A and B are shown apart, each in its own frame.
Chain A
Amino acid sequence: EDKVVQSPLSLVVHEGDTVTLNCSYEVTNFRSLLWYKQEKKAPTFLFMLTSSGIEKKSGRLSSILDKKELFSILNITATQTGDSAIYLCAVDSGGGADGLTFGKGTHLIIQP
């Protein structure tokens, strides 16, 4: 059974701090790992990673994948209150047509 584990499950930091969110996985096949941000409604896509060691960046957010050690991290620098959300990690295990396997998410709260 495919498994995706995120840590921590919740995190409270102050505005301006840097945070690192973790995602480890065990899957039978691996095609890609994805990060989503979920505020009050639908998850929105952040990054997709397919190759080890390549960093994806978008503004203050960045992510890297380690396919050997089977994990990924999502970094957010200079956090803002608008970064408060649930961050979801998901793995596409090659049968992309039959859905993604999601972790439980990290609930990030940024305090002013």
Chain B
Amino acid sequence: DAGITQSPRHKVTETGTPVTLRCHQTENHRYMYWYRQDPGHGLRLIHYSYGVKDTDKGEVSDGYSVSRSKTEDFLLTLESATSSQTSVYFCAISESGEGYGYTFGSGTRLTVV
């Protein structure tokens, strides 16, 4: 979807290194989310944001931090990557915070070796 882009699309990193994933939107939506998707677990919420500098933890937030210094960008940082953080990461945006309004990015495939 042209209104939301994630970067990088793929990344391989070593255990113990910091990694930052970027989600950029052009829709001026208030709400932004980071999910991870793993086989056997479905999509799980990591962190979310309900405005600039307003963020909160989701179900699986340990080992992750986020920042949102402007409306269009939501950054996810793995402070010290571990193999258990190998996953596909999806960003989503929503204008209203209600489920039907979610638009997902194309995902970032992260491999921690």
A residues engaging B (CB < 8 A)? 31-32, 34, 41-45, 48, 88, 90, 92, 96-105
Contacts and interface: CB of A to CB of B under 8 A. Distances in A.
Contact of B58 (A41, A92, A99): A99
Interface stretch (B14-22, B69-77, B90-98): B90-98
Given A42-B107, A90-B43, 12 more contacts: A32-B100, A34-B102, A88-B42, A96-B94, A96-B96, A97-B97, A98-B48, A98-B58, A99-B33, A100-B45, A100-B99, A104-B40
B43 A43 contact: yes
Interface residues of B, number: 26
Mostly, the A contact residues are: mixed
Nearest to A32: B99
19 contacts: A32-B99, A41-B107, A42-B1, A42-B104, A42-B105, A42-B106, A42-B107, A44-B104, A48-B99, A92-B98, A96-B94, A96-B97, A97-B31, A97-B48, A97-B50, A98-B58, A100-B43, A100-B99, A104-B41
